[in-house]
Structure 1
Amino acid sequence: MSGSSHKPQTDRQEGGAQAPLIEHLVELRSRLMRAVIAIVVIFLALYAFANDIYGFVAEPLMALLPEGSQMIATEVASPFLAPFKLTLVVSVFIAIPVVLHQAWAFVAPGLYDNEKSLAIPLLVSSVGLFYAGAAFAYYVVFPLLFSFFTQTGPDNITVMTDINQYLNFVLKLFFAFGVAFEIPIATFLLILSGATTVASLGSKRPYILLGCFVVGMVLTPPDVVSQSLLAVPMYLLYEIGLLFGRLVGNRRARQRADDA
């Protein structure tokens, strides 16, 4: 009798444990669907301008080519697939705030108020820094980089870039600079979490500088110009992260002194 009397209670406990899990999975699916729908809607709105978008992205190189030069397509489907791929990437790029908002709405109920007050500025600044990195790549890095590439080749060589290869090249740089500009956030979080200190990170400056050039070598084309254009801003952003970490540390020290 005792075994049978405990069985319904155990079943109820297991059912209660499964119910929140199912609710979380349903909520996660709903958030993911909203993010995907946002990307699809933006893509459908932009697809009519796919060729114009590609022309805008190709402008830094086209402006430096000799008059009458143009890009080429070495594959049959490239004239369609390259603008299509770019438009899809741009749609995801534009939808990042919506995607992060859905992610935030999913995790926010489980956070404390002080965590929420810190997470929102970090999310906003992360999106802004990623966009700033992509803009820096387009308006600063691309003109310098393509000028270097087009002027250092032999005089008897005509530059005729394949549209698909060019797209892969610039997307890689967009992503590299977007992620690199997140360094202040990463540095700030490491200091804030207590994983390290400003003094400890400051003492490792030579290694950080070397690491920035190693990352630049991995993420960019194999030339000194593009590697330096990524490594130098990365190191400067690292210093900015240290500065904010030092400001937060000083603020906490003052608060502890006031409490004492």
Structure 2
Amino acid sequence: MSFLDHLEELRWHLIRSTLAIVILASAAFLAKDFIFDVVLFGPKKADFPTYKLLCKVANSIGFKESFCFTELPFRIQSRTMAGQFSAHLWTSITAGFIVAFPYILFELWRFISPGLKTIERKSSKGFIFIASILFFIGVLFGYYVVTPLSINFLGTYQVSDQVFNDFDLSSYIGLVRASALASGLIFELPILIYILTKIGVVTPQILRKYRKFALVIVLILSAIITPPDIASQVIVTIPVIILYEISIYISKSVIRKQNKRLKKQKTKGN
């Protein structure tokens, strides 16, 4: 295929992916009550599962004041004419993207796979399933861990009793959306390392050598997507470090398989 033919092929994959997002976003738009009252405003309620769990843990170690409460002391408001409609629209698109993520990966795979060798296609079986599972786990981690920690910290923080917390709707939704999507993308780290290892950009030795620098980057990312308290950053950092260590093992496995394949080819050549 020529370059223009490849572009035309890519265009149709993008159109189908966009259409899937639009269809699912439309469904999310119609499910407004569930999306907002149950999902988005869930972390604002004291009976949210994360708060209940943290309250039990806090009680067991003597820090009841930190996570045991009956109500978060802030309100959510909309201060622009189109604020609520805009929030409804963009939230629906975000929900459509999250739900359509496996299909988007499928379209990406359909575009890339014809250019791969038979061995590469076989070794990449399960890519869509694994990448989707990692993404959804990351989104759930962002929603059930990062989001409530952020809301609990920022929603109760006050510089003075004279200042009340009345947050804008777009600010609140932006925090929930950023926490979920950022976590979902961060959890794709093993897939990224797998691809980079396959094309020869990284090796297990490089990953081990720069482990300390990776830890610093992880801490910076944790500081960006979490409130500025040590407990929240540690909670977010731990799974990312685990993912990094898993990525080293994946990279090692890829290199091992490549070496075995080269040995077989040399044996056949001889």
TM-score normalised to structure 1 length: 0.78
Check if 1:52 corresponds to 2:34.
yes
Check if 1:78 corresponds to 2:83.
yes
Task: Please show how residues 150-189 of structure 1 align to structure 2 within 5 Å.
Answer: 150-153=155-158, 156=161, 158-189=164-195
C-alpha change, 1:256 and 1:106, in structure 2 (3 Å) is: closer
Higher helix share: 1
CA distance in 2, matches of 1:190, 1:110: 17
Q: Which moved more, 1:23-32 or 1:131-140?
A: 23-32
1:205 to 175, 188, 211: 211
Tell me, yes or no, if the aligned pair for 1:212 and 1:232 is still in contact at 8 Å.
no
CA distance in 2, matches of 1:195, 1:101: 24
Tell me, yes or no, if the aligned pair for 1:198 and 1:242 is still in contact at 8 Å.
yes
CA drift at 1:163:
1.4
* CA deviations over 1:132-189 (Å, ceiling 9, x no partner): 1110111222233333334554794654322111011121112221121112222333
CA distance in 1, matches of 2:257, 2:6: 38
CA distance in 2, matches of 1:257, 1:123: 29
Matching residue's letter, 1:62 = K
CA drift at 1:219:
4.5
Q: Which position in structure 2 is the counterpart of 1:24?
A: 6
C-alpha change, 1:75 and 1:100, in structure 2 (3 Å) is: same
1:215 to 221, 229, 254: 221
What runs of 5+ residues in structure 2 fail to find an aligned partner?
Answer: 47-68
Percent same amino acid among aligned pairs? 26
CA drift at 1:86:
0.4
Task: Please show how residues 213-252 of structure 1 align to structure 2 within 5 Å.
Answer: 213-250=219-256
- SS of the equivalent of 1:95 reads helix
TM-score normalised to structure 2 length: 0.75
What runs of 5+ residues in structure 1 fail to find an aligned partner?
Answer: 1-18
Matching residue's letter, 1:49 = A
Matching residue's letter, 1:98 = Y
CA drift at 1:73:
1.3
CA distance in 2, matches of 1:89, 1:100: 16
CA distance in 2, matches of 1:26, 1:134: 32
How many aligned positions are there?
242
Tell me, yes or no, if the aligned pair for 1:176 and 1:219 is still in contact at 8 Å.
yes
2:17 to 35, 43, 61: 35
2:94 to 62, 85, 89: 89
Matching residue's letter, 1:45 = A
Q: Which position in structure 2 is the counterpart of 1:5?
A: none
Q: Which position in structure 1 is the counterpart of 2:124?
A: 119
C-alpha change, 1:194 and 1:40, in structure 2 (3 Å) is: closer
